[in-house]
Amino acid sequence: MATVATLLNVVGGRGVEGERTFTKVSPVDGSLVAQVHEASGETVDAAVRAARDALSGPWGRLRTVDRAALLRRVARTVEERAEEFVAAEVADTGKPLELARRLDVARAVANFDHAADFVYGTERQESYSTETGDGRRALNYAYRKPMGVVAVIVPWNLPLLLLTWKVAPALAAGNTVVVKPSELTPSSATLLAEAMAEAGVPDGVVNVVHGFGPGSTGEYLTSHPGIDAITFTGESATGSAIMTAAAPNLTPVSFELGGKNAALVFTDTDLGRAVRGTARSVFTNAGQVCLCTERVYVQRPIFDEFVAGLTDEALALVPGRPDDPRTGIGPLISREHRAKVRSYCELAIKEGATVHAGAEPILFGNELDQGAFFPPTIWTGLGRDAVTVTDEVFGPVCHVAPFDTEEEAVALANGSEYGLAATVWTGDVDRAHRVAPALDVGLAWVNSWWLRDLRSPFGGNGRSGLGREGGRAAADFYSHPTNVCIEIGPR
C-alpha cells in the first residue's frame, strides 16, 4: 500500500499545521495521496510577516553575485532530488513519468539556472545625461529594487514548472515569496520549499500556504495588505476574482490566464509534420496546458487528409498508468474536471459535431476506472459560434474546420476573446511573416509548438492575461525603479 503523505504549511522555515485538513487523491486510480493542512487567515498572516522579516534579514543584505550562486545551488539540489520531484508531480497529476522528467523537472532546473544567469539584468541601471533649455545639466539614473513580498499562485496542470517559473525570477530580483499551490497539486511546492532550505535559502524567503480560493487561503493571501505584488497563472475567472481582492490595496498583478488557441494549417505545409505537431499541441498533458490547441483551421484541399491523419494520431495514444512505458496519455486532474470536459463533448454533439475520435470516458475494467481518464477527442462540423468552439475546455479535445483563404484563416484565428498563443503551419516563408504578426496573440509559433526561449516575453491578450513574464519582462514586474537625479553645477 502506498504511503500517504502529510503536507504542512511552511512558514518561516518551519512546518505549521492547520485547523482543518483536506485530502488529495490520485487522478490515476482514486487512491489517497496526501492529507493536506489548510492555512487559516492567521497562518497566511504569519507567512507574510515571515517573508517581510526575511527582507530585512540576511536575504536583503545578500550581494547579487551571492544571490545568483544560491539560485544555482537550488537548481543543483532539484537536479539531485529529481526523482523525488518526479514522484511528487506524478502522484498529484498522474502524468506519464517520462513527461514529468523531461518537461516539469527539467524546466524547473532550467528556470533557476536562467534566473541565476539573468539576475544582473534585474539591477541594470539606466542613465541619462540631461541638459535643459536654461542651461542646467543633470545626470539621471534608475536604481532597481525588489517589490517586496510577492504572492505566487500557481495552477494544477504544470505545478512545479510554473511555480519555479515565477519563484526563480522573483528571488533573483531580491523579493521574498508566499506560495499558494493549487489544492489539487500540493506536493511539489512543499518539496521545493524543503529543497530550497537544503540549498541554503534563508528561512522566510520562501513560504508555502495550502488551501482553496474564495473564503480560504487564496482570498486571505490576495487581499492581504502586506503583499506587494501578485503573480498568478490559471483560469480567467479566477484572475478576475484576484483582481477584485487586490483592488483595495492597489496591489500590482501579473496574470497568465486561459487560452482557446488556434492552429492554421496551409496547403503548402509539410502535412505529416503539421499533423504530428498538431497532435502534440492538442494532446500533450491530456490537453491541460494553457498553450494547447483547441481550434484547428485547415485549408480546404488538405482538410480531409489532415483530419484522417490527426485521428490516427489520437487513436494511437494509449492511456494508462504513469509508470507504464506504453502510456501515451495520462488522466485529467480530477473526476470533477473530467465531468466538465465530458459535458462539453455532449454539448458538441448536440450542437451538431461529427466525432472522429474519443468523446466518451475510457473504461479499463480495473482500479483505473476510479481515475479521471478521458480519450483524445476530435470534432468537425461546428460553426464558429458554437460554445465548444468559443469556450476553453482544457482537455484533450479540438475542433477542426476548413478555410479557403489566408485572410479567412487569420479572421478565424482572431475570432476569440482569448489571445494567448497560435501556431502557423506553412512552407512559405513570406506567408509565415505575414500571418504570424497578424495574429492577436502573445506568442505565435511557425512550424513548431511550445518552443521557448526563457528570455523572451510570455503572456496573452484579452481574456488570456495581463502583463508578461520571462526575461526583461519578469525583471520589470518583480522590481521597481527609483530615479536619482543629480544636478551638475557650472564649473
Would you give per-residue pLDDT tens digits along the chain (491 residues)?
568 999 999 999 999 999 999 999 999 999 999 999 999 999 999 999 999 999 999 999 999 999 999 999 999 999 999 999 999 999 999 999 999 999 999 999 999 999 999 886 555 567 888 887 788 899 999 888 999 999 999 999 999 999 999 999 999 999 999 999 999 999 999 999 999 999 999 999 999 999 999 999 999 999 999 999 999 999 999 999 999 999 999 999 999 999 999 999 999 999 999 999 999 999 999 999 999 999 999 999 999 999 999 999 999 999 999 999 999 999 999 999 999 999 999 999 999 999 999 988 899 999 999 999 999 999 999 999 999 999 999 999 999 999 999 999 999 999 999 999 999 999 999 999 999 999 999 999 999 999 999 999 999 999 999 999 998 899 899 999 999 999 998 76
Identify the H or E element spanning 140.
strand 137-146
Task: Determine the Cα–Cα distance for residues 153 and 166; give it in Å rounded to an integer.
Answer: 9
Task: Determine the Cα–Cα distance for residues 272 and 425; give it in Å rounded to an integer.
Answer: 11
**How high is the pLDDT of residue 489?**
84
User: What CA–CA distances, in Å, run from 91 to 105, 165, 448?
Assistant: 14, 21, 30
**How high is the pLDDT of residue 278?**
98
Task: Determine the Cα–Cα distance for residues 212 and 210; give it in Å rounded to an integer.
Answer: 7
Task: Determine the Cα–Cα distance for residues 282 and 317; give it in Å rounded to an integer.
Answer: 12
Selected catalytic residue, list 89, 219, 290, 469: 290
**How high is the pLDDT of residue 286?**
98
Measured in whole angstroms, the distance separating CA 213 from the mean position of its chain's CA atoms is: 17
In the residue annotation, 290 being an active-site residue is answered as yes
In the residue annotation, 256 being an active-site residue is answered as yes
Residue 409: name the closest of 428, 387, 388, 396 by CA.
Answer: 428
Count the alpha carbons within 13 Å of 147 in the hemisphere toward its beta carbon. Answer: 25
Three-state DSSP state, 305 = helix
A 10 A CB-CB count for 399 gives 21
* Residue 294 near residue 413 (C-beta atoms within 8 A): no
Q: In what order do the strands lie in the sheet with 397-403?
A: 354-357, 377-380, 397-403, 293-299, 261-265, 421-425, 443-446
DSSP string, 387-445: HHHHS---SSEEEEEEE-SHHHHHHHHH-SSEESEEEEE-S-HHHHHHHHHHS-SSEEE
Grid cell of 169 as nine digits: 525570477
User: What CA–CA distances, in Å, run from 250 to 146, 170, 221, 222, 281?
Assistant: 17, 19, 14, 11, 37
Domains of the chain: 5-257+464-483 (3.40.605.10), 261-453 (3.40.309.10)
Residues 6+ apart with CB under 8 A from 489: none
State pTM to two decimals. Answer: 0.95
* Residue 333 near residue 372 (C-beta atoms within 8 A): yes
Selected catalytic residue, list 256, 294, 313, 469: 256
**How high is the pLDDT of residue 471?**
87
Secondary-structure breakdown of the chain: helix, strand, coil percentages, each rounded to the nearest 5: 40, 25, 35
